[in-house]
Amino acid sequence: MSQGMQGSIVALVTPFRNGKVDEPRLRELVEFHVKQGTDGIVACGTTGEDPGLTHDEHERVVETIIAAAAKRLFVIVGTGSNSTAHTIDVTAHAERAGAQAALVVNPYYNKPTQEGLYRHFRAVAEATALPIFVYNIQSRTAVNVETATLERLVRDCRNIIGVKEASGSLDQMSQVVAACGPDFIVLSGDDNLTLPLMAVGGRGVISVIANIVPRDTADMVHAALDGDFKRARELHYKLYPLARAAFLETNPIPIKEAMAMAGMLEPEFRLPMCRMADGNRERLRAILKPYGLVK
């Protein structure tokens, strides 16, 4: 299963209603992705507003998604935090719940050294049998997992099988692909860089916009995996305006607003996330119209 964890993977939003997790809608979203050809789901990532969930809510969301997926697509659980011990505990729950892998973000705010990053990820990997994806996103965490550190982790930890690369640097992505070998799964963490990354050896995306355009996202990724870069390029440019619009404000605000406009969920957030500014909402609506998602 671990080497099959590639393709179009949605960073699933967490729907709320009246201040609580909307579990029926969450199950509907999982079913939507099964039917639309999505390969996998990330539960409780940044797009899923995991920092705003209680511990009990996190566990319930994970269990709900895994049960709804019923192994028809794979589930990767976001388990990272700025505490190594807490990350190990949350990863243990994901393993018990039946997840296929864990996505472990760089420890944030602590700003560890490269040695600290190495020890953190190694400790998590040694505490679980789950395959681990490192989530490298300096813009959110203040630290970058340098390629030499990642290469060292891959060498020393057999269950560190991939990385969600959200450094924003195609140069770094190329270094990672070259350094970590053909079996290492490099996934894009930025929708607008998915195709460029796949052109140099990436294996897919953990996507924000797949929440609302899953079929086109999956088709683009699979065209690239099949070597049909003409078709992949057409879809890239079709999706590109939406990929940019997804960051008109802090993720996941725009994608949840877009989904609300399309009638897919309530426009509800957990503070400190909040509704989109009116001007940006109208810009977003205008961008969604050509996709047929809003009137």
Instruction: Give the active site residue among 108, 109, 111, 135.
Output: 135
CA 70 to chain centroid, in Å, comes to 20
Task: Please indicate whether residue 164 is annotated as part of the active site.
Answer: yes
Please state the separation of Cα 13 from the chain's center in Å: 10
Q: By C-alpha distance, which of 197, 186, 200, 213 is closest to 293?
A: 213
Helix (H, G, I), strand (E, B) or coil at 156: helix
Question: b or e along 223-258 (b: 16 or more beta carbons within 10 Å of the residue's beta carbon)?
Answer: bbbeeeeeebeebbeebeebbebbebbebbbbbbbb
Token pair belonging to 20: 């609580």
List C-alpha distances in Å: 280 to 213, 245, 248, 249, 273.
Answer: 20, 9, 7, 8, 15
Nearest alpha carbon to residue 273 among 87, 50, 114 = 50
**CA–CA distance, 235 with 230 (Å, rounded to integer):** 9
User: Which entry of 164, 237, 240, 291 is annotated as an active-site residue?
Assistant: 164
What tokens does 242 get?
A: 């939406």
Q: Is 111 a catalytic residue?
A: no
Cα–Cα distances in angstroms (integers) from residue 165 to residues 103, 171, 177, 203, in the given order:
11, 11, 11, 11
b (16+ CB within 10 A) / e for 154-182: beebeebbbbbbbbeebebbbbbbeebee
Please identify every residue annotated as catalytic. 135, 164
